[in-house]
Amino acid sequence: MMKSKLFWPIVVLLIILLINLFFDKNFFTIEVKNGYLTGSLIDILNRGAPLLLVSIGMTLVIATKGVDLGVGSVIAMAGAVGAMTVSGANGDSLVPLFTAIAFVIAISILTGIWNGVLVSRIGVQPIVATLILMVAGRGIAQLITDGQIMTVYYDPYTFIGGGHLLMLPFSIFIVAAMLVIASFLTRKTAMGLFIESVGTNPEASRLSGINSKNILLMVYVFSGICAGIGGLILSSNVASADGNNAGLWYELDAILAVVIGGTSLNGGRFYLMGTVIGALIIQSLTTTIYSIGIAPEINLVVKAIVVLIVCLLQSPEFRKKVFGVFNMKQTEKKSKNEGVSIS
Amino acid sequence: MKRLFKGKKILLLMMSLVFLLSACSSSGTGGQTDSSSSNGAGKSSDKLVIGFSQVGAESEWRTANTKSMQNAIKDAGHELKFSDAQQKQENQIKALRSFIAQKVDAIVFSPVVETGFETVLQEAKDAKIPVFLADRAVDIKDDSLWVTFLGSDFIEEGRKAANWLVEETADTEGDVNIVELQGTVGSAPAIDRKEGFEEVIKDHPNMKIIKSQTGDFTRAKGKEVMEAFLKSDGENIDVLYSHNDDMAIGAIQAIEEYGLKPGKDIKIIGVDAVRGAFEAMAAGKMNVTVECNPLFGPQMVDLIEAHLAGEEIPKRVAVEESMYTMDQAEELLPTREY
C-alpha cells in the first residue's frame, strides 16, 4: 500500500532531477567547498527546509480532515519576532539567540493553540478558523516590523538558516529532527492511529475513548511549531524579517506538497514520507526553473503543468485510462487493488 | 406616534449635520480664501487632501520614498491619506476607489504593475480628480487619464549600468558573462532596466547575458536565484546585474557562501543606491550602484500645487539622479538618508 502511494511521486521527482542532468552535467556532483559540502541537491534540501517543515505539520492537520491556512502568516510572524528579539543584540553573546528561539516557539505554540481551540472547542470549520490567522497574522507581523524590512546585524542569528553542521547546512538537521519526531510520535506510538481515527470519524473516535478534541488541538499546535521554526529559518537565512513577503503562499505550497505526497484532503490517512517527496518535488521544480533558464514570465505555467501531471498520475482512474490502452487486462487487475487501498 | 415623531427629530438633526459638514468641506475644496466660512487662519482653506497609494514596503528605497512623500505633503500643510498596496494590484484599485469616494483633491500613486488601471483611472477622471503618477508609469494609451508622471527614467538607469560595465571591461579579452536578476515580472522598472541595459550591450558582442530570472525585488529571492545560477554556471559568471540593490545584497550572501569573492570574482551592479548597497560597497563586496532617487516628495507636492493653480505641466518629469562606485562609498555612507 505504502509502495504504490510513494511510487509515482518518486518517479516524478527523479524525472525532474534527471531533466536537470540533461542541462547541467554537474547537477548531481557534490563537492567540498570552504569545508562544506555543496551542490544543487544540497541546495534543494536547504532551500526546501522551511517548506518541508511546514508540510510535515500540515500533513498531520490534513490527516484529521482539517487544513491550516495560517502557516504562511505564522512564518512571517516568527521571522518578525525572531528578528526583533535579536535586533541590536551584541554578537559576542549567545543569549539573544536562544531568547529569540524561545520567543518564536512560544508564539508559534500560541498560534497553534488559537487555531486548535477554535477548531476543537468552539467547532469552527478548520478552513474558516485558520483563515482568521492567515489574514491577521500577516498584519501582526507587519505591526512588529513596522511594515519595513528589518535587517539583523547579529551574526549568531544567521546560524539557524545559514550555518553548517558536519559540513551540511544546519537547516537540514532541523528538518530531519522534526521528521523523526513526527514519525516517531505517529508510527511508534498510538498517536498516528488516533489522528487517523479522528480524521475518519471524530464522533466515533470520541465514543471509543479517544480524546478527539485534544488530538485536534495537538495537531494544530504541532503545525504552528513547524511553521514557526520554518519562519525562523527563512528569516535567519537572509538576516532580515519581511512582514510583507516572508512565507507568502506557503500554506498553498504546503497543502500541495501534502496532496502530491498522496495524503487525501478527506482525512483519515497520511503519508509523512509522501509529503517529504511532495515538498522536494516543489522545491526541485523551483530550482530547476532557475537553473535551466526558463523565462520568468512562464515560471508559474511550467509549475502548474508539472503539478497537474503529478496529480493525474496519482489518480488510479487516469492511470487506468492511459495505460489501459497498452495493457488492458493487467491494469484492470492492478487498479482494482489500488481502488481498495485508496478509500 | 410619539416614537415616529422622535425619529423625525433625529432625522432632522442628522440632516442639518450633514448639511453643515458638506458646507465645511465645500469651502475647503473650493480653495477660496473666504474668511467667513473658515474659522482659522487663511491657510486652512488652501489645505489639500492628497491620497497616496504606495506599492508596498518591499525595500529600503520604497520606505525612503514613502517617508519623503509623507513628510513633503505634511510639511506643505496638506492632509495625507496613505494606503499601502502590499504589492497587490487589487489592493491598489480598492485604495484608488476609496480615494475617489472620499473626494480627495489629488491622487498620487505608484502602480504595482503597468497595466489594468484604465477603469479606475477613468473613474477618477470622471470625478475630476487629478492623478499624478509617482516613480512608476502605466501602459495606457489615453494619456488624459493622468496629469504627469514624475519618476526616474528606468531605461536611462539600465543604460548607465551597462555603460559602466562597458568602460570597466574595456580591456577584457574574450567573453563577459552576465547574469541578470530581474525585478517583479511585468513591473516598469524590471522591463525598462532590462531594455536600457540590453540596448547598450547589444553593440558589444562579447557581452552575453547567460541567465536572467526574476528575484521579485526581494533579498530572499535574490539569494535563492543567485544560488541556482552559481550551481549551474559557477565560475563562468563574470558580472551580476541586479535590478535593485536588495536582490544584489541577497545575491552577495549567496556568492560568499559559494566561495567566490563578490565585487572581485563577480562584479556586482545594483540599481537604487540604498544604504545597504553603500555598506556593501564600502566593504568591497559591490562595485557600483546606479542611483534611483526616492526623495522626490517635495517635487511632487510642487507639481500638484502648480497643477491645481492652473499651470501647464509636462507629461513626463524626470528626477535628478547620479551613480556611485566603490571608491566613493565609504565617504558617502554617513550622508545617505535611505
- Which candidate from B57, B213, B224 shows the least CB-CB separation from A147? B57
Task: Give contacts of A27 with chain B, Cβ < 8 Å.
Answer: 231
- Asked if B56 lies within 8 A of A244 by C-beta distance, the reply is yes
Weakly modelled stretches of chain A, pLDDT under 50: 1-2, 331, 338-343
What are B231-276's pLDDT values in tens digits? 888 889 999 999 999 899 999 999 988 889 999 999 999 998 888 8
- Asked if B228 lies within 8 A of A40 by C-beta distance, the reply is yes
Q: How far away is chain B from the Cα of A19, in angstroms, using its nearest Cα?
A: 13
Task: Give contacts of B216 with chain A, Cβ < 8 Å.
Answer: 245
Q: Any CB–CB contact under 8 A between B228 and chain A?
A: yes
For residue A106, the model assigns a pLDDT of: 95
For residue B332, the model assigns a pLDDT of: 79
Q: How far is CA B9 from the centre of its chain?
A: 51
Q: How far away is chain B from the Cα of A285, in angstroms, using its nearest Cα?
A: 12
Find residue B323's DSSP bridge partners: B290
What are A71-93's pLDDT values in tens digits? 999 999 999 999 888 887 777 77
Please name which of A118, A113, A89 lies closest in space to residue A101, comparing C-alpha atoms: A89
Alpha carbon distance, N-terminus to C-terminus of chain A: 12
- Asked if A291 lies within 8 A of B228 by C-beta distance, the reply is yes
Domain B45-152+294-319, CATH: 3.40.50.2300
- Asked if B220 lies within 8 A of A151 by C-beta distance, the reply is no
Higher pLDDT, B228 or B31: B228
For residue A182, the model assigns a pLDDT of: 92
For residue B158, the model assigns a pLDDT of: 92
**Is the pLDDT at B20 greater than 70, yes or no?**
no
- Which candidate from B60, B218, B276 shows the least CB-CB separation from A245? B218
Cα separation, A234 vs A246, whole angstroms? 7
- Asked if B228 lies within 8 A of A149 by C-beta distance, the reply is no
Residue A307 contacts residue A260 (beta carbons within 8 Å): yes
Size of interface A-B (CB pairs under 8 A): 83
**Is the pLDDT at B143 greater than 70, yes or no?**
yes
Cα separation, B174 vs B196, whole angstroms? 23
Q: How far away is chain B from the Cα of A172, in angstroms, using its nearest Cα?
A: 16
Banded pLDDT at B18 (limits 50, 70, 90): low
Q: Any CB–CB contact under 8 A between B151 and chain A?
A: no
Alpha carbon distance, N-terminus to C-terminus of chain B: 66
Establish whether domains B45-152+294-319 and B154-292 are of one fold: yes
Residue B64 contacts residue B338 (beta carbons within 8 Å): yes
Task: Give contacts of B182 with chain A, Cβ < 8 Å.
Answer: 296
User: For a pLDDT cut of 70, what percent of chain B falls above it?
Assistant: 85
Cα separation, A295 vs B214, whole angstroms? 9
- Which candidate from A34, A43, A242 shows the least CB-CB separation from B231? A43
- Which candidate from A33, A246, A289 shows the least CB-CB separation from B259? A33
Q: How far away is chain B from the Cα of A89, in angstroms, using its nearest Cα?
A: 19
Q: How far away is chain B from the Cα of A282, in angstroms, using its nearest Cα?
A: 14
Cα separation, A253 vs A96, whole angstroms? 32
Q: How far away is chain A from the Cα of B134, in angstroms, using its nearest Cα?
A: 20
Q: Any CB–CB contact under 8 A between A40 and chain B?
A: yes
**A297: region left, alpha or beta (phi > 0 left; psi from -120 to 50 alpha):** alpha
Q: How far is CA B274 from the centre of its chain?
A: 13
**The one-letter amino acid at B42:** G
Q: How far away is chain A from the Cα of B138, in angstroms, using its nearest Cα?
A: 19
Domain B154-292, CATH: 3.40.50.2300
Find the residue in B nearest to A35 (Cα).
B259
Find the residue in B nearest to A33 (Cα).
B259
Please name which of A308, A303, A265, A297 lies closest in space to residue A283, comparing C-alpha atoms: A303
Q: Any CB–CB contact under 8 A between A293 and chain B?
A: yes
Task: Give contacts of A239 with chain B, Cβ < 8 Å.
Answer: 253
* Residue A213 CB-density burial (10 A; 0-12 exposed, 13-18 middle, 19+ buried): middle
User: What CATH number matches the domain at A2-16+52-293, 3.30.70, 1.10.3470, 1.10.10, 1.10.760?
Assistant: 1.10.3470
- Which candidate from B56, B57, B253 shows the least CB-CB separation from A238? B253
Banded pLDDT at B6 (limits 50, 70, 90): low
Q: Where do the domains of chain B lie?
A: 45-152+294-319, 154-292
**Is the pLDDT at B36 greater than 70, yes or no?**
no
Q: Report helix, strand or coil for B97.
A: helix
Q: Which of A20, A149, A242, A302 would you mutate first to test chain B, the one with the most B CBs within 10 A? A: A149
Find residue A169's DSSP bridge partners: A164
Q: Any CB–CB contact under 8 A between A183 and chain B?
A: no
Average pLDDT of span B5-24? 55
Task: Give contacts of A167 with chain B, Cβ < 8 Å.
Answer: none
Q: How far away is chain A from the Cα of B253, in angstroms, using its nearest Cα?
A: 8
In the numeric block, the cell 551580476 is attached to B240
What are B120-139's pLDDT values in tens digits? 999 999 999 999 998 888 88
Higher pLDDT, A166 or B198: B198
Cα separation, B44 vs A46, whole angstroms? 58
- Asked if A244 lies within 8 A of B185 by C-beta distance, the reply is no
Cα separation, A195 vs A185, whole angstroms? 11
Please name which of B57, B59, B32 lies closest in space to residue B46, comparing C-alpha atoms: B32
Q: How far away is chain B from the Cα of A234, in angstroms, using its nearest Cα?
A: 8
For residue A151, the model assigns a pLDDT of: 80
Mean pLDDT of chain B: 83
For residue B316, the model assigns a pLDDT of: 86
Longest dimension (CA), chain A: 70
**B113: region left, alpha or beta (phi > 0 left; psi from -120 to 50 alpha):** beta
Q: Any CB–CB contact under 8 A between A324 and chain B?
A: no
Find the residue in B nearest to A25 (Cα).
B232
For residue A300, the model assigns a pLDDT of: 83
Find the residue in A nearest to B222 (Cα).
A238
For residue A324, the model assigns a pLDDT of: 72
**Is the pLDDT at B45 greater than 80, yes or no?**
no
C-alpha grid cell, residue B290: 546606479
Q: Where do the domains of chain A lie?
A: 2-16+52-293, 317-343
Q: Which of B83, B224, B244 would you mutate first to test chain A, the one with the most A CBs within 10 A? A: B224
Cα separation, B17 vs B24, whole angstroms? 11
For residue A139, the model assigns a pLDDT of: 87
Residue B61 contacts residue B338 (beta carbons within 8 Å): yes
Find the residue in B nearest to A283 (Cα).
B224
For residue B1, the model assigns a pLDDT of: 46
C-alpha grid cell, residue A293: 533558464
In the numeric block, the cell 480598492 is attached to B94
What are B148-184's pLDDT values in tens digits? 988 888 898 999 999 999 998 888 778 899 999 999 8
Write a three-state SS string for B171-203. Answer: CCCCCEEEEEEECCCCCHHHHHHHHHHHHHHCC
Q: Any CB–CB contact under 8 A between B214 and chain A?
A: yes
